[in-house]
């Protein structure tokens, strides 16, 4: 499996910031499009950052496309709808995964982040 | 469910067939194999030499398996059948069926055994509302498997059918050519698997696993024999309704068969509350699951608001394509308050403070919802009005049918509606949350604030909801802040929450026990004196067992021991006449007119909070309470029920026993 760093999701540099909806939640969620790993979303009690794809991870989010993954990061995806329409799925600690995806639905830094929306 | 159907279930997988075991779904018949709110088999018909066997008997051995005994007859009473058929079926993520044919004749016979199979992959809402499909149905056959499928964009559902014996597999089913010598038998096992969400490889339920679950509950010993059956039935039905999400650990109660085999906020919380002294783990699973899906954003389509606890989570096609808002839907004004009530009750009974600590963030968000969104117009009372005008619920209290909130003259109350029991729940929730804030979250300042808010709410409620000319509390305040003046069972919930002043509570008790509300079998949802009253109106005259269990519990807590005992006894006598299983609702006809409670035609059965009703009634009769350390027992048992013992009640104390016997004063 080819592993790429989180820079692939960002047009420039790395990105981190406040996500109040994730207060009280700690975890590492691996981000994948198909079988390609694009990095790890590190959640630390209300703060989030994109990090290179390195273990350990608690949960893996696999989306069908980069667009869907970016919508997930921006809090625009409902995890139930994502699963029902087979647009993506969560592996591993799915309870924590849903908490993270739901927590992103409030305000989060990725709404404004310069995420690279095109496949590499 | 219809008396002409047979249902087996396991969580949210269930099979409804006719009494032969055949499935022939039609627009008016809810038959099929269902899983995750989708029908995975709508036709399953057995024929032998072109004839459909006649049913001899049905053995509903356990809630998850059934056996049908049949014979292939010639339709004439002068010729005995020589060919018997037994069909054994067990449900899991589909079902397994074993068909046994026995030739009792002295001659060999050749048989053409056919199982017609087909599927419409209807969403449960499509079944209910008779809608048309938008995707493509298909079938695939291989040498050893028939696949029935449905595809609409990324939404794919398939059913796989295979057999243990060599079969001709066609697009419409499986065919077997069987030669049966005299006095021999032939067996085939059929495996029907539904493709659905990944929930892990949980093994199919067995009698041993059910017995283990029931065996972990307290043991009942009583002198009124029917109570044994009622108690056992409640525990087994609760076991049947356990629903695993595959995401959070454990199982929570689904709401009811057939329409409501899903995660619900209100229903799962109420059933969990009823079951706390018997199976407290249900409450823990319910709370964790509901916390996980707590609202985060303002989304009018789903009636979602930050901090709100969900109403209903569905997994079918209409939800997947946003033709229904249930992903999840948040249209319940009471589930957020019930969340606190169950959390505090659970912690006080079990001493499991870790769960309360785990859910502190969610609890704080939920209190914010009550004050910011629940009280929409900031008048101090929680009211509701749907954001989704097309597919949302008009009424977001437990009486959620369209005509339930009406004035005494029958006029429907305009929205938004602040029903009385919602205010009681807020009062109770704030007091209970204050207790948790002080004892678990170490926040005495917040606790004081919550208590002060509760005191102020009680004061204002007793002023603004009271109808002095009728001496009871208004059913609701309508959108123009007018008192909705119908006499309904809702006032009974005010005793449970403790929001009613003592004098006003006493007056409400008189109304509850009057002929207008108490039929002799139970308290009607609406008094027979009101214009909208209909003894078979869903929320305007029928009797709901869960409603009665909470009213009895509230009476007991308010010191009305005899009244609580009277309702408990009537409801348990009704349960006995329903074969031990209380339905969702039954007719409000006076007991003086009928020796049997009258069935409500479309009641769900089993239904979780009706299943839990006998449990709360037993708690009421024994006066069981926890003070956080000890089990308190204060029985008030009416004479005909004699003696009740509940042994090994789980709680913070470990296991304790409770004993009670009837006394003349009770």
Q: What is the pLDDT of residues B300-338, one digit of tens each?
A: 999 999 999 999 999 999 999 999 999 999 999 999 999
Answer whether 0.90 is exceeded by the pTM: yes
* Fold topology of B5-194: Beta-galactosidase; Chain A, domain 5 (2.70.98)
Interchain contact, B320 vs A105, CB within 8 Å: no
pLDDT of residue A94: 93
A93: closest chain B residue by CA: B247
- How far from chain centre, in Å, is Cα B662? 31
Which residues of chain A does B369 touch, with a Cβ-Cβ cutoff of 8 Å?
none
Contact A95 B154 (CB under 8 A): no
Q: How far is CA B491 from CA B260, B273, B472, B537, in A?
A: 26, 20, 8, 19
Verify whether the Cβ–Cβ distance A94 to B246 is below 8 Å: yes
> In this structure, what token pair is assigned to residue B324?
């229904």
pLDDT score at B210: 81
Check A87 against B154: CB less than 8 A apart: yes
Nearest by CB: A81 against B197, B198, B320:
B320
Average pLDDT over residues A51-80: 92
CB contact under 8 A, B247 and A83: no
Q: How much is the pLDDT for A2?
A: 39
From the list B247, B327, B328, the residue facing A94 with the nearest CB is B247
**Confidence bin at B76 (pLDDT 50/70/90):** low
Residue B533 pLDDT > 60 = yes
Fold of A6-110: Nonspecific Lipid-transfer Protein; Chain A (3.30.1050)
Position B259 confidence tier, pLDDT thresholds 50, 70, 90: confident
pLDDT at B474 over 70: yes
Q: Return the percentage of chain B with pLDDT > 90, whole number.
A: 86
Residue B247: predicted pLDDT = 85
Q: Among all residues of chain B, which has the CA nearest to that of A81?
A: B320
Nearest-CA distance A29 → chain B (Å): 16
Q: Which of A78, A89, A103 sits opposite B327 (nearest CB)?
A: A78
Return the residue in A46, A85, A108 with the most chain B beta carbons within 10 A, the one to mutate for interface testing.
A85
Residue A118 pLDDT grade (very low, low, confident, very high; cuts 50, 70, 90)? low
Asked whether the beta carbons of residue A106 and residue B306 sit closer than 8 angstroms, the reply is yes
Q: CB B319 to CB A103 under 8 A?
A: no
Residue numbers in B near A23 (CB within 8 A): 361
Q: Where in chain B is the domain with CATH 1.50.10.10?
A: 207-661
- pLDDT at res. A1: 38
Number of inter-chain CB pairs under 8 A, A vs B: 52
Tokens (6 digits) for B57: 């008997």
**What percentage of chain B carries pLDDT values higher than 70?**
95
Using a CB–CB cut-off of 8 Å, the residues of A that contact B are 21, 23-24, 64, 75, 78, 80-81, 83-87, 89, 94-95, 98-99, 102-103, 105-106
Please state, rounded to an integer, the average pLDDT across all residues of chain A. 85
Question: Which residues does chain B have within 8 Å of residue A21's beta carbon, measured at their own beta carbons?
Answer: 296
Contacts of B293 in chain A (CB under 8 A): 98, 102
Q: How far apart are CA B596 and CA B494, in angstroms?
A: 30
| Domain covering B207-661, topology | Glycosyltransferase (1.50.10)
Find chain B residues with C-beta within 8 A of A95's C-beta.
247-248, 288, 292
B329-369 per-position pLDDT tens digit: 999 999 999 999 999 999 999 999 999 999 999 999 999 99
**ipTM exceeding 0.95, yes/no:** no
Closest CA to B652 of B388, B347, B212: B347
B310 to each of B3, B331, B336, how far by Cα in Å?
33, 7, 8
Per DSSP, which regions of chain A are E strands? 16-18, 26-33, 36-44, 47-51, 59-63, 88-92
Mean pLDDT of B248-263: 87
Mean pLDDT for the stretch of residues A53-69: 94
- Which of A20, A23, A89, A95 to mutate to probe the B interface, most B CBs <10 Å? A95
> Are A81 and B327 within 8 A, CB to CB?
yes
Of B293, B297, B315, the CB nearest to A106: B297
| Average of per-residue pLDDT values in chain B | 94
Those residues with Cβ within 8 angstroms of residue B557's Cβ, 6 or more apart along the chain or in another chain = B495, B496, B498
CATH 2.70.98.40 range(s) for chain B read 5-194
Q: Taking CA atoms, what residue in A is nearest to B196?
A: A84
Per-residue pLDDT at B243 = 86
Mean pLDDT of B125-139: 83
CA distance B316 to chain A (A): 8
Q: How confident is the model at residue A119 (pLDDT cuts 50, 70, 90)?
A: low
What value does the mean pLDDT take over residues B408-415?
A: 97
CB-closest option in A84, A94, A98 to B319: A84
pLDDT greater than 70 at residue A4: no
DSSP B51: B
Q: For the residues A14-33, what does the mean pLDDT come to?
A: 90
Q: Give dist(CA B295, CA B66) in Å, integer.
A: 40
Which of A21, A45, A84 is most worth mutating to test chain B (most B CB atoms within 10 A of its CB)? A84
The 3-state secondary structure of B301-322, one letter per residue: HHCECCCCCCCEECCCHHHHCC
Q: A18 to chain B, minimum CA–CA distance in Å? A: 16
Is residue A13 classed exposed, middle or buried when 0-12, 13-18 and 19+ CB atoms within 10 A define those classes? exposed
Q: What is the pLDDT of residues B187-206, one digit of tens each?
A: 999 999 998 654 444 555 66
**B395, pLDDT greater than 60:** yes
Residues on chain A touching B327 (C-beta within 8 angstroms): 78, 80-81, 84
Average pLDDT over residues B612-617: 98
From chain A, the residues in CB contact with B296 under 8 A are 21, 102-103, 105-106
Q: What is the pLDDT of residues B36-55, one digit of tens each?
A: 999 999 999 999 999 999 99
Q: Do B545 and B553 form a contact (C-beta atoms < 8 A)?
A: no
Residue B249 binned pLDDT confidence (cut-offs 50, 70, 90): confident
Chain B residues whose C-beta is within 8 A of a chain A C-beta are: 153-156, 197-198, 246-248, 288, 292-294, 296-297, 306, 313, 315, 319-322, 327-328, 360-361
Q: What gap in Å lies between CA B110 and CA B280, rounded to an integer?
A: 56
pLDDT in tens, B540-570: 999 999 999 999 999 999 999 999 999 999 9
3-state secondary structure of B395: coil
Three-state SS string over A2-33 comes to: CECCHHHHECCCCCEEECHHHCCCEEEEEEEE
Do B294 and A83 lie within an 8 Å CB cutoff?
A: no
Looking at residue B666, its pLDDT comes to 57
User: Could you state, in order of their start, the residue ranges of all structural domains in chain A?
Assistant: 6-110
Q: How far B284 CA lies from chain A's nearest CA (Å)?
A: 15
What does DSSP assign to residue B156?
E
Burial B253-287 (b: 16+ CB within 10 A, else e): bbbbbbbbbbbbbbbbbbbbbbbbbbbbbbbbbbb
Ranges B119-133, B293-307, B635-649: which has the least confidence: B119-133
Provide the pLDDT for residue B158. Answer: 95
Give the Cα separation of A88 and B260 in Å (integer).
Answer: 27
Q: For chain A, what percent of residues have pLDDT higher than 90?
A: 55
| B292:A106 CB<8 A | no
Span of B92-101, B481-490, B597-606 with lowest mean pLDDT = B597-606
Residue A90 has pLDDT above 90, yes or no: yes
pLDDT value at position B92? 84
Mean pLDDT of A24-48: 94
């Amino acid at each position: 499996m080819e592993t790429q760093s989180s820079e692939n999701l960002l047009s420039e540099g790395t990105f981190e910031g406040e996500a109040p909806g994730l207060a009280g939640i700690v975890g590492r969620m691996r981000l994948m499009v198909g079988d390609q790993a694009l990095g790890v979303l590190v959640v630390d009690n209300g703060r989030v950052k994109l990090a290179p794809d390195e273990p350990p991870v608690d949960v893996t989010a696999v989306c069908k496309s980069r667009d869907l993954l970016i919508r997930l990061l921006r809090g625009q995806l409902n995890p139930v709808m994502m699963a029902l329409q087979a647009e993506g799925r969560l592996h591993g600690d799915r309870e924590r995964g849903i908490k993270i995806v739901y927590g992103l639905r409030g305000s989060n830094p990725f709404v404004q982040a310069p995420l690279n929306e095109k496949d590499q | 469910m219809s008396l002409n159907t047979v249902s087996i279930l396991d969580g949210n997988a269930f099979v409804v067939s006719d009494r032969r075991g055949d499935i022939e779904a039609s627009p008016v018949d809810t038959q099929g194999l269902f899983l995750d709110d989708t029908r995975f088999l709508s036709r399953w018909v057995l024929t032998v030499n072109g004839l459909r066997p006649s049913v001899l008997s049905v053995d509903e051995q356990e809630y998850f398996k059934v056996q049908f005994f049949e014979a292939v007859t010639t339709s004439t009473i002068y010729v005995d059948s020589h060919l018997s058929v037994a069909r054994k079926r067990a449900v899991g993520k589909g079902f397994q069926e074993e068909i046994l044919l026995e030739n009792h004749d002295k001659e060999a016979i050749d048989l053409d055994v056919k199982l017609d199979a087909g599927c419409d992959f209807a969403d449960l809402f499509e079944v209910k509302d008779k809608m048309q499909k938008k995707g493509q149905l298909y079938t695939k056959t291989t040498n050893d498997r028939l696949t029935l499928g449905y595809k609409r964009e990324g939404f794919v559902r398939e059913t796989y059918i295979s057999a243990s014996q060599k079969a001709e597999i066609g697009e419409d089913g499986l065919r077997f050519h069987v030669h049966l010598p005299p006095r021999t038998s032939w067996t085939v096992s059929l495996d029907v698997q539904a493709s659905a969400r990944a929930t892990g490889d949980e093994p199919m339920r067995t009698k041993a696993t059910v017995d283990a679950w029931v065996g972990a509950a307290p043991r009942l010993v009583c002198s009124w024999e029917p109570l044994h059956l009622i108690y056992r039935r409640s525990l087994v039905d609760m076991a049947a309704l356990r629903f695993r999400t595959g995401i959070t650990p454990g199982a929570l109660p689904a709401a009811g068969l057939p329409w409501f085999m899903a995660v619900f906020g209100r229903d799962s919380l109420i059933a969990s509350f009823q079951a706390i002294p018997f199976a407290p783990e249900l409450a823990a699973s319910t709370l964790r699951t509901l916390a996980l899906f707590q609202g985060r954003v303002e989304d009018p389509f789903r009636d979602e608001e930050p901090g709100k606890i969900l109403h209903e989570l569905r997994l079918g096609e209409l939800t997947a394509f946003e033709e229904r808002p249930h992903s999840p839907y948040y249209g319940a004004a009471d589930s957020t308050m019930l969340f606190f009530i169950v959390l505090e009750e659970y912690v006080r009974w079990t001493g499991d403070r870790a769960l309360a600590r785990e859910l502190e963030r969610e609890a704080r968000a939920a209190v914010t919802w009550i004050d910011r969104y629940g009280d929409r117009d900031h008048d101090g009372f929680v009211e509701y009005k749907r954001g989704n005008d097309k597919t949302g619920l008009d009424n977001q209290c437990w009486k959620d049918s369209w005509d339930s909130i009406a004035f005494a003259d029958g006029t429907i109350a305009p929205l938004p509606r602040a029903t009385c029991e919602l205010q009681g729940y807020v009062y109770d929730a704030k007091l209970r949350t204050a207790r948790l804030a002080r004892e678990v979250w170490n926040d005495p300042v917040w606790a004081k604030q919550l208590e002060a808010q509760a005191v102020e709410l009680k004061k204002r409620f007793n002023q603004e909801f009271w109808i002095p000319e009728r001496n009871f509390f208004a059913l609701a305040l309508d959108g123009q802040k007018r008192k909705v003046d119908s006499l309904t069972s809702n006032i009974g919930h005010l005793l449970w929450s403790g929001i009613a002043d003592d004098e006003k509570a006493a007056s409400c008790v008189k109304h509850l026990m009057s002929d207008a509300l108490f039929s002799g079998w139970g308290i009607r949802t609406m008094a027979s004196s009101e214009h909208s009253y209909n003894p078979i109106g869903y929320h305007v005259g029928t009797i709901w067992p869960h409603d009665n269990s909470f009213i009895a519990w509230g009476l007991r807590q308010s010191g009305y021991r005899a009244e609580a005992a009277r309702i408990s006894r009537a409801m348990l006598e009704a349960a006995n006449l329903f074969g031990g299983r209380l339905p969702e609702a039954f007719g409000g006809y006076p007991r003086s007119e009928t020796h049997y409670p009258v069935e409500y035609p479309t009641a769900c059965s089993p239904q979780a909070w009706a299943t839990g009703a006998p449990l709360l009634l037993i708690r009421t009769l024994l006066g069981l309470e926890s003070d956080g350390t000890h089990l308190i027992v204060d029985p008030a048992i009416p004479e005909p029920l004699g003696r009740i013992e509940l042994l090994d009640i789980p709680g913070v104390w470990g296991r304790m026993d409770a004993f009670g016997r009837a006394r003349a004063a009770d």
